[in-house]
Amino acid sequence: MRAILKTKAAVVGALMASTTMASAGDVEVLHWWTSGGEAAALNVLKQDLEGQGIGWTDMPVAGGGGEQAMTVLRARVTAGNAPTAVQGLGFDILDWGNQGALADLNEVAAKEGWDEVVPDALKAFAKVDGKWVSAPVNVHSTNWVWANKAVLDANGIGVPTNWEEFTAALDTLKAAGITPIAHGGQAWQEATVFDAIAMSVLGPDGYKAAFIDLDEGTLGSDAMKEAFDRMAVIRANVDDNFSGRDWNLATAMVINGEAGFQMMGDWAKGEFLNAGKVPGEDFLCFRFPGTTEQVTFNADQFMMFDQGGSVSTEQAALASAILSPSFQSAFNVVKGSVPARTDVSDADFDACGKQGMKDLAAAAASGNLFGSMAHGHAAPASVKNAIYDVVTAHFNGEYDSQTAVEELVDAVSIAK
Ligand code: BGC
């Protein structure tokens, strides 16, 4: 209910804001980068454009994972008033592209050689019928764990390398009176945790079969039940106030030592950096145990909505700024993600960023790179939302693991 009210308020706000639309020479950008770290990264883009004399009309819609932003977007498009540029993920981009709502970026893409430098995994979500329809900003991945180093050190905990070591660490923290896992109880956050848990239990082939191929046998397997059992262990290690908490507030619990770990995508690093924390000294980043060779990715892109006619000068300038190698480095250093181009140096990135770049390249080369289910890169929104519902209901104790598996099979088969 609260989520619906929140969304309604966001839509009304967005429609009101649309009456003060961007004027010629400006871009109106709809996005969900509203946390401290996200806003700091967005500023890099704003300043880049300002330097080119292009004004920025900001259209933020809070809500991690972008569900609320996508609701606002649909309302704006239905009202015949699409924003110039919109943050988008995976299958949502393809959906708008297939509807013919997006401008053709092929001219700027050809001039700047995007085809040669953007990896195939991203192109699959940026091009429709051979036409570039969005500009990739970054590559995030979801199978990370963030830890407070002082808390781990004080409790004699090293980086866990398997599920048993991880759960032993959780037990130690609990016994010490520290919240083992900082978590925000929102469906997309539970799905983000599930991405990593499912990958570690099902393995890469099983993850692909379940969430990309939507194979019934894998969705209904014993391994899937085991994944739900492990989600119940995670649930037993969060604090009492987790429900509804925003992801960045959960990150803050790790930053200030109230909690030991957070399982979250690498946008969490943006929060640590924004708080002046240093990787390796104040906080640790590591792949969720059992997923060190895999990467479940989500790439933020900016879709350029067709404003009637060909791509506008401002849209082309925005797209070109986003893909420039200097921006790709400057932005992603702050955001926590890694570049969407393969030819950007890792020199300016911190240890977690360097590892992220290395992991991504290695996973792509070894066939271990998969679109994130939780962040719209494995299956279309209808299926994603069906999985969200089951994972969240189980996390909140509505289903036991066996029921969750059965519900998952049914929900996906109805949604697909
Ligand atoms: C986006 C990130 C964002 C995160 C939390 C993800 O879906 O890809 O850019 O920081 O949601 O808002």
**Domain parsing of the chain, residue ranges:** 2-139+299-355, 141-296+369-415
**Tens digit of pLDDT for each residue in 18-74?**
434 455 689 999 999 999 999 999 999 999 999 989 999 999 999 999 999 999 999
Residues counted in the chain? 416
| Ligand 1 pocket, residue 300 CB under 6 Å | yes
Q: Give yes or no for residue 176 having a pLDDT over 60.
A: yes
Q: What is the pLDDT of residue 24?
A: 62
Nearest to 183 by CA among 257, 237, 233, 256: 237
Q: Give yes or no for residue 4 having a pLDDT over 50.
A: no
pTM score of the predicted model: 0.94
Residue minimizing CA distance to atom 2 of ligand 1 = 267
Pocket test for ligand 1, best of 267, 298, 384 (most atoms within 8 A of CB): 267
Out of 3.40.190.10, 3.20.20.70, 2.30.30.30, 3.40.640.10, the CATH code matching 141-296+369-415 is 3.40.190.10
Residue minimizing CA distance to atom 5 of ligand 1 = 64
2-139+299-355 and 141-296+369-415 agree in CATH topology: yes
For residues 357 and 346, the answer to whether their CB atoms sit within 8 Å is yes
| ∠ CA 276-277-280, rounded to 5° | 155
Give the pairing of strands 259-263 and 179-181: parallel
Nearest to 170 by CA among 200, 195, 144, 145: 145
CA of 207 to the centre of ligand 1 (A): 21
Mean pLDDT within 96-121: 97
Q: Which atom of ligand 1 is nearest to the CA of 38?
A: 10
| CATH code, 2-139+299-355 | 3.40.190.10
**Tens digit of pLDDT for each residue in 267-284?**
999 999 999 999 999 999
Q: Which atom of ligand 1 is nearest to the CA of 375?
A: 7
For tokens 């429900």, what's the residue?
243
Residue minimizing CA distance to atom 7 of ligand 1 = 65
For residues 222 and 39, the answer to whether their CB atoms sit within 8 Å is no
Q: Report the C-alpha gap between 366 and 55 in whole angstroms.
A: 43
Q: Which atom of ligand 1 is nearest to the CA of 37?
A: 10
H helices of 261-348, where?
268-274, 313-323, 325-335
Nearest to 302 by CA among 16, 82, 13, 9: 82
Q: Which atom of ligand 1 is nearest to the CA of 270?
A: 10
| Ligand 1 pocket, residue 38 CB under 6 Å | yes
Q: Report the C-alpha gap between 304 and 312 in whole angstroms.
A: 9
**Tens digit of pLDDT for each residue in 329-354?**
999 999 999 999 999 999 999 999 99
CA of 20 to the centre of ligand 1 (A): 26
Q: Give yes or no for residue 7 having a pLDDT over 60.
A: no
| Ligand 1 pocket, residue 288 CB under 6 Å | no
**Tens digit of pLDDT for each residue in 121-142?**
999 999 999 999 999 999 999 9
Q: What is the pLDDT of residue 23?
A: 57
Q: What is the pLDDT of residue 309?
A: 82
The set of long-range contacts for 404-412, using a CB threshold of 8 Å and a minimum separation of 24, is: 404/225, 404/228, 405/219, 405/220, 405/221, 405/224, 405/225, 405/228, 406/220, 408/219, 408/220, 408/224, 409/216, 409/219, 409/220, 411/386, 411/387, 412/214, 412/216, 412/219, 412/383, 412/386, 412/387
Average predicted confidence (pLDDT) for the chain: 94
Q: Which atom of ligand 1 is nearest to the CA of 140?
A: 8
Q: pLDDT > 70: what percent of the chain?
A: 94
Q: Report the C-alpha gap between 156 and 172 in whole angstroms.
A: 9
CA of 64 to the centre of ligand 1 (A): 6
Q: What is the pLDDT of residue 15?
A: 44
Q: Indicate the range of 237-241, 267-271, 280-284, 305-309 predicted with least confidence.
A: 305-309
| Ligand 1 pocket, residue 140 CB under 6 Å | yes
Q: Report the C-alpha gap between 329 and 340 in whole angstroms.
A: 10
Q: Which atom of ligand 1 is nearest to the CA of 32?
A: 12
**Tens digit of pLDDT for each residue in 246-255?**
999 999 999 9
For residues 307 and 384, the answer to whether their CB atoms sit within 8 Å is no
Residue minimizing CA distance to atom 1 of ligand 1 = 65
